[in-house]
A and B are shown apart, each in its own frame.
Chain A
Amino acid sequence: MKILTTPRMERCIGCHSCSLACARLVHKRLSWDTAGIRIRSSGGLSTGFETRLCMACDPAPCVAACPTGAYSQRKGGGVVVRIKLCIRCGACAKACPVDAIYLDATGEPFVCIHCGRCVPFCPHDCLELTEFSRGTTPSGKEAAASEEVES
């Protein structure tokens, strides 16, 4: 299955269009927080931007940490979240090694579902939904993607 990657983040201008698109289209909200992809400046605007994004772990530590089964492993990496089962304990966010899960004020978790709906809203083509396997040698665009994902 495809996953969302950020092969060209050096081009990011910090417009937050991706986060806003995810919140708007996936979560039906206006927000730059309650989104699967979030942008932050890395040490001030003069050093550019970085993403907070699910790295599509397999096995995913957040799945192991979830006490209710709200999180389950997604085929190809990442997670499927059934929010109805979530008890807002925050264990998923604590377990995530790359701070990819956002908890809102009520404790509801927001994490990338690798749907790619944010991709067309990036004006600099930073993002890519792509087939990705850590076991193969990627080429072309995928090579760039792997550098970003594995860095």
Chain B
Amino acid sequence: MIRDHFRVLLVDLSSGRNTITDIDGRNAVAGGSGLAALLFEKYGFLGKPWDDPGQPLIFAIGPLTGYFPLMSKTVCAFKSPYHDQYAESHGGGRSALSLRFADFDALVITGRAKTPSALIVGSRQIEIKDVHYLWGTDLQVAGKILRRMFPGAGHRTILRIGPAGERLSPMACITADTYRHFGRLGGGAVMGSKNLKAIMIHGDGSFLLPENKDYIKVFDKVYKDMTDTDMMSKYHNLGTPGNVRVMNDLKALPIRNLQATADPATEGITGERFAEIALLRNAACAGCPVGCIHIGFVRERFQKENRYIYRQISYDHELIFAVGSMLGVMDCFEVLKLIDVAEKMGLDVMSPGVALAWATEALAKGMITEKETLVPLAFGNTASYEAALEHMGYRTNEFYHLLSQSTTKAAERYGGGDFACVLGQEMAGYATGEAFFVSQALGFRHSHLDAAGYSYDQKPKGKAVEDAVKFLIKDEKGRVFLTSMVSCLFARSVYNDEVLSNCLKSIGYGTLADNMDAVAGEIQRLRWKLRVRTGYRPENVSIPKRFTEITTWKGQIDSAFLSSLKDQYASAIRDLASTDTTASTSEKKEGHWHIENTT
């Protein structure tokens, strides 16, 4: 629905009371990332811990969600169990269109249910159901039962958590519709802390379109760009796994806990190899004709006689890097097996993969023993990693409990911080150089998607710190506007400023279209401000020694440049966070304001 305000559903799991409220601010914060920040400012408690029942779990969509192709993502925001600060995690599947057709711009969940529960939301339905019998089930089992319990197959999203989320692991993800995730920074644990096993959103509403011809014309142009040009071919063809060979050729693929950046053995896990032997089919998020989801298969012999089962598992570059190259597992099917275990546990695949890479090296160096790891972790030993991922999901002993908090926490206890591949959180699959390391280490989501540091590293520019900082800040600003629409960032080459402006105007958001740059800056500042007010100190972030020891196609990492870039980027973030924002000032007047402790 096109509206000049936000229609928000507030669900209080403690009291079972729900409220639908209209909130102003469309022209100030647009939606998505901006709306999530606005809502956290309004309903969050900046000084209370992440698992305080009053803390909100927010899902927000944007003004273009559903109206245009690849406007198919949802922004999930919460206080993160990983660092106890404000965080965002983005996911797709059918979540965005379901929320759109349920006719809410955002869903805000507070409180804690008395028993393990499922929340059901639709345009004509809001219900909290006891599902205590699902607590403890892995994601595969839970998914099957939930699908049977609720109506709307095909036109709904089912967001759910596994054992890791129930056990409040900061590496627990929220799985959306089997193959997509709100993966990082522990959204799954936030659901777990609310006793919320699942959220089902039924997109059963429909809306009249604006009565002008522009919308159809603009839609057709965008759709053609997405499907008839080569702008999206990377994602339509090999998908993100195409990066594995590219990174390896650049000597920029993290391998065996970043002890190497290239290895001929990675040929066994390239996107090309997956496509050749393991790719079963593709799938798409609702509203995306590109269909970047690549689904592979593993088959498992379960009896001595020739009796097999098979499973379908989605794969991406980041997952292949995290439980493939990083763990020295160089076979497609072995990688898929490890992804499958992490999926069932409801773990984000990336963080546990990187954490186990650290544990493998720490074990080899004698800092920990098999008494801690329970299994003989060794690069390439898939069976051990399968068991270890389950231990992480179930948090079996003190070691795995700590490791699933973060690699840094484990290293603080056992040593080995120098080779913990952590950049704000466990690293993403790009060892391209200084700009990427700094971008992920300090970036808002600690994600490779915060800004294109990896791309800056590959440009034949000098090492001008100021230039790099400007690039990172500007790139983040562009991306934050996209994630406020809410676009999939894979569509960023199609959705340039002109196209976005045309899209907004065609459905009646002319004011937003005329102020895109200012609004983007506003949202960027608002997010940083929240992050800093919840305790973030960018100047205190450190980049472990391992990142300075590697060699890429450019040669040795330049430690002095890295350090200087980190300091200046931290300072630029500080500047952004200290700039006053008009949206927050106006909202303060409306009351419902929490006093926070920012120390």
- Name A's B-contacting residues (CB within 8 A): 13-17, 20, 23-25, 28-34, 38-41, 43-46, 48-49, 104-105, 121, 123-124
Interface residues of B: mostly helix, strand, loop or mixed? Answer: loop
- Name B's A-contacting residues (CB within 8 A): 66-67, 69, 97, 100-101, 123-124, 143-144, 147, 153-155, 177-179, 203-209, 211, 216, 219, 223, 227, 236, 281-291, 293, 312
- Chain B residue numbers with a CB within 8 Å of A41 are 153-154
- Chain B residue numbers with a CB within 8 Å of A46 are 178, 312
- Chain B residue numbers with a CB within 8 Å of A40 are 153-155
- Chain B residue numbers with a CB within 8 Å of A16 are 97, 286-287
A-B contact pairs, 10 of them (CB 8 A): A13-B291, A20-B287, A25-B216, A32-B101, A32-B155, A33-B101, A33-B203, A41-B154, A121-B289, A123-B289
- Chain B residue numbers with a CB within 8 Å of A104 are 206
A49 and B206 form a contact (CB under 8 A): no
How far, in angstroms, from A30 to B506 measured CA to CA in the complex? 14
- Chain A residue numbers with a CB within 8 Å of B312 are 46
How far, in angstroms, from A74 to B509 measured CA to CA in the complex? 41
A29 and B206 form a contact (CB under 8 A): yes
- Chain A residue numbers with a CB within 8 Å of B207 are 29-31
Nearest A residue (CB) for B147: A44
Nearest B residue (CB) for A33: B206
Instruction: Given A45-B283, A105-B124, answer yes or no on A30-B67 (Cβ-Cβ < 8 Å).
Output: yes
Smallest Cβ distance from B233 to chain A, in angstroms? 12
The 9 closest A-B pairs by CB, nearest first: A40-B154, A31-B206, A15-B284, A13-B291, A123-B289, A13-B284, A34-B206, A45-B178, A40-B153
- Chain B residue numbers with a CB within 8 Å of A32 are 97, 101, 155, 203, 286
Nearest B residue (CB) for A42: B153
Nearest A residue (CB) for B283: A13
A30 and B206 form a contact (CB under 8 A): yes
Smallest Cβ distance from B190 to chain A, in angstroms? 24
Q: Which of B100, B123, B291 contacts A15 (CB 8 A)?
A: B291
Nearest A residue (CB) for B223: A121
B101 and A29 form a contact (CB under 8 A): no
A29 and B154 form a contact (CB under 8 A): no
- Chain A residue numbers with a CB within 8 Å of B153 are 40-41
How far, in angstroms, from A63 to B69 measured CA to CA in the complex? 36
How far, in angstroms, from A17 to B285 measured CA to CA in the complex? 11
B289 and A38 form a contact (CB under 8 A): no
How far, in angstroms, from A104 to B206 measured CA to CA in the complex? 8
- Chain B residue numbers with a CB within 8 Å of A30 are 66-67, 100, 206-209
B154 and A24 form a contact (CB under 8 A): no
A38 and B154 form a contact (CB under 8 A): yes
How far, in angstroms, from A141 to B247 measured CA to CA in the complex? 42
- Chain A residue numbers with a CB within 8 Å of B144 are 44
A123 and B227 form a contact (CB under 8 A): yes
Smallest Cβ distance from A107 to chain B, in angstroms? 13
How far, in angstroms, from A123 to B283 measured CA to CA in the complex? 11
Instruction: Given A28-B209, A40-B153, answer yes or no on A33-B204 (Cβ-Cβ < 8 Å).
Output: yes
- Chain A residue numbers with a CB within 8 Å of B147 are 43-44
Smallest Cβ distance from A114 to chain B, in angstroms? 21
- Chain B residue numbers with a CB within 8 Å of A24 are 209, 216, 219
A49 and B143 form a contact (CB under 8 A): no
Nearest A residue (CB) for B311: A46
How far, in angstroms, from A29 to B209 measured CA to CA in the complex? 5
A123 and B291 form a contact (CB under 8 A): yes
Smallest Cβ distance from B364 to chain A, in angstroms? 38
- Chain A residue numbers with a CB within 8 Å of B287 are 15-17, 20
- Chain A residue numbers with a CB within 8 Å of B223 are 17, 121
Smallest Cβ distance from B264 to chain A, in angstroms? 34
- Chain A residue numbers with a CB within 8 Å of B288 are 15
B293 and A13 form a contact (CB under 8 A): yes
How far, in angstroms, from A105 to B124 measured CA to CA in the complex? 9
Smallest Cβ distance from B152 to chain A, in angstroms? 9
A33 and B155 form a contact (CB under 8 A): yes
- Chain A residue numbers with a CB within 8 Å of B179 are 45
- Chain A residue numbers with a CB within 8 Å of B216 are 24-25
How far, in angstroms, from A33 to B202 measured CA to CA in the complex? 11
How far, in angstroms, from A121 to B283 measured CA to CA in the complex? 16
Instruction: Given A44-B143, A44-B178, A121-B223, answer yes or no on A28-B289 (Cβ-Cβ < 8 Å).
Output: no
Smallest Cβ distance from A90 to chain B, in angstroms? 16
Most central of A17, A49, A123 by chain B CB within 10 Å: A123
Smallest Cβ distance from A116 to chain B, in angstroms? 16
- Chain A residue numbers with a CB within 8 Å of B286 are 14-16, 32
Smallest Cβ distance from A57 to chain B, in angstroms? 23
- Chain A residue numbers with a CB within 8 Å of B208 are 28-30
Nearest A residue (CB) for B285: A15
- Chain A residue numbers with a CB within 8 Å of B282 are 13
- Chain A residue numbers with a CB within 8 Å of B285 are 15
- Chain B residue numbers with a CB within 8 Å of A121 are 223, 289
How far, in angstroms, from A76 to B233 measured CA to CA in the complex? 39
How far, in angstroms, from A28 to B210 measured CA to CA in the complex? 8
Smallest Cβ distance from A86 to chain B, in angstroms? 17
How far, in angstroms, from A40 to B203 measured CA to CA in the complex? 12
Smallest Cβ distance from A33 to chain B, in angstroms? 6
Q: Which of B66, B67, B123, B290 contacts A123 (CB 8 A)?
A: B290
Smallest Cβ distance from B6 to chain A, in angstroms? 17
A23 and B154 form a contact (CB under 8 A): no
Known: A33-B203, A46-B312. 6 other contacts (CB 8 A): A13-B281, A16-B286, A30-B67, A40-B155, A41-B154, A48-B281
How far, in angstroms, from A31 to B66 measured CA to CA in the complex? 8
Nearest B residue (CB) for A16: B286
Nearest B residue (CB) for A20: B287
Most central of A38, A41, A49 by chain B CB within 10 Å: A41
Nearest B residue (CB) for A49: B154
Instruction: Given A15-B284, A33-B101, answer yes or no on A45-B209 (Cβ-Cβ < 8 Å).
Output: no
How far, in angstroms, from A15 to B101 measured CA to CA in the complex? 15
- Chain A residue numbers with a CB within 8 Å of B227 are 123
Smallest Cβ distance from B314 to chain A, in angstroms? 10
Nearest B residue (CB) for A123: B289
- Chain A residue numbers with a CB within 8 Å of B209 are 24, 28-30
B69 and A14 form a contact (CB under 8 A): no
How far, in angstroms, from A41 to B158 measured CA to CA in the complex? 13
How far, in angstroms, from A64 to B259 measured CA to CA in the complex? 73
